[in-house]
């Protein structure tokens, strides 16, 4: 359904751009003056204005429909309740149980503190790369 709607939407967009570009400029703001062209006369101007209005309406209808269809299956969620909480570890867990990797640096530090039984160990500093022209 969404693919068909996207194709219709793209066709409407292309037709809308074509209808706008075919219209005669009336101000001569860009120095062209409008001149004679492919679509001249009052009847064609009314037809292009009407086509532009219809295509614009179709554009908004298809865009809103795609937006509604995209959010149809989403469940509402709260930003307040999205805290990543790690459940408290039990001391009776078997040693062979797979450990989950902590989600954040703070969780990793807490896990290291629990394992060492004291203050968290300082993370090892990354080794500095040797200078390429350093004397040996």
Q: Are 76 and 47 in contact (CB under 8 A)?
A: no
Task: Tell me the per-residue pLDDT of 72-111, one tens digit each, with 9 for 90 and over.
Answer: 878 777 777 765 554 555 555 555 555 565 567 778 888 8
Classify residue 91: in a domain, yes or no. no
Classify residue 15: in a domain, yes or no. yes
The CA-CA-CA angle for residues 27, 58, 34, to 5°, reads 15
Cα separations (Å) of 59 from 15, 37, 65, 66?
A: 10, 27, 10, 11
Domain that holds residue 19: 2-24+41-70
pLDDT at 64: 96
pTM above 0.85, yes or no: no
Tally of structural domains, the chain: 1
């Amino acid at each position: 359904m969404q693919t068909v709607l996207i194709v219709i939407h793209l066709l409407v967009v292309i037709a809308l751009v074509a209808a706008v570009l075919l219209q005669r400029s009336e101000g001569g703001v860009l120095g062209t003056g409008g001149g004679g062209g492919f679509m001249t006369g009052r009847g064609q101007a009314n037809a292009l204005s009407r086509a532009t209005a219809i295509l614009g309406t179709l554009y908004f209808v298809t865009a809103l429909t795609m937006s509604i269809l995209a959010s149809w299956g989403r469940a509402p969620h709260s930003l307040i309740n999205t805290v990543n909480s790690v459940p408290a570890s039990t001391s009776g867990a078997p040693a062979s149980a797979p450990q989950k990797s902590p989600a954040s640096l703070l969780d990793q530090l807490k896990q290291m503190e629990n394992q060492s039984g004291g203050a968290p160990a300082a993370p090892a500093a990354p080794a500095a790369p040797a200078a390429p022209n350093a004397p040996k």
